Structure 1
Amino acid sequence: MPGRPEGTAASRRVDAVRRDGRLGVGIIGAGRVGPVVGAALAGAGHAITGITSGSDDERVSAVLPDVPVLDALEVVRRSELVVLAVPHAELPGLVRGLADLGAWQLGQLVLHTDAAHGIEVLRAAAEKGAIPLAVHPAMAFTGTTIDLRQLSASYAAVTAPAPVLPIAQALAVELGCEPVVVEEADRAAYAEAIATASEFSRQIVRQATGILRGIGVENPGGYLSALVRSTVDQALTEASPAIPDLPPEE
């Protein structure tokens, strides 16, 4: 995967942009993830330059008030950091299409939020001099400001070329997440783990609430809430490595 090593014009531009800790951030993708990522970065001091239109612009404006709605080319033109928060299947074509239009800029940061893709999917942008970053917050998004609190308790899978890995990690921290480096070759396995946990949880809850509803229990979701949360918390505790006892102080 081509990247821009330290000392190149690209890395110098990133250093200059970040000298005051502020980036112009554009969001392509107005679903559940993009607006929330934009709001988190705005909260960290960055300026949101624009976001593309989606199916619920009213919800987006509630999360990102006063942010202009622009087409993708204008978002890229205005931004030092472009966040791509689009469905998995759309990401490769979007990156290639913008490259064919000459949109990507030398030294521009391009970050996507997809679980399964690493930075290879951003090759077309990197070939134009952009800096590829993959940051996936491991949480279920609602697309509302409620997610901002959840981000602060989440981890994020980070993949980037070695010279710019600290930038990707710093952006994950600015989202509120604890960054965990996932190698390019491991992104598919990572995505499988995320999908397994997400889909299995949903299916089990749906099955259980259906059974309770069938025997006349009102509000089965509320009835199971404490049980499901405590069971998941216990399972996660059991899955975490035990902290060894410290030796007694002498």
Structure 2
Amino acid sequence: MVRLYLFAEGQTEQTFADILIQPQLALYDVFMHNPILIAHAKKKGQVHRGGGRNYLPMKNDIMRFLKQEKAPDVFFTTMIDLYAIHADFPGLAESESLRQDPIQRVEFLEKRFAEDIGDARLIPYLQLHEYEAYLFSDPTCFKYLDAGRTKEIEALRVIASQYQTPELINDGQQTAPSKRIIAQFPDYGKAKSIFGPLLAEQIGLHVIRNKCSHFDKWLSRLESLNEKGVSS
């Protein structure tokens, strides 16, 4: 069995990983510790966690764990949004030339992230473009919030049908996945960390993986850690 630490950007990702990813990886003898909210600042010696716009506190947080856990069978990964990514993130300026190909762009940023950390046990993952893209894998999940909102659910379904994958729903300030959901279901924005994981559970991990190839590739790599280690 190998062990895995997951650094989550927010409580939504933290709960999603705990409910859906942790038991899935256990099937492959990959033990994931309770997901950790990643640091966004350190003030007066105290680490502040969750979200944030600064890369350096995130990097320092990961580096601390890497130094504490030096065993070769301990791995680390992240769940950080590409949407509104930290301005000082490695390679961000260079990646602008790849904006027309979001998948290539996110893979480039993950590579630069890994290079900047400099430890092969880190498996970076950036969400395309944010967590809420997963919920467009099956918009009927929003019946869980209100089964009577058929027009709103249909509006989300129409949006999803316009993209080859929900992960390509763009990162505009009003057109990012979460913004589109809140436009139809304002209550979602008031309790994202609660509703987000519950809706994903309604959809099912297998459906999300089938619709979201970048997410599936990352999860498949984590599942293979026992067999292939960091070379997967």
TM over 0.5: no
Between Structure 1 and Structure 2, whose CA radius of gyration is higher?
Answer: 1
TM-score by length of structure 1 reads 0.31
* Structure with larger RCO (C-alpha < 8 A, sep 6+): 2
Relative to its length, the structure with more helix (as a share) is: 2
TM-score by length of structure 2 reads 0.33
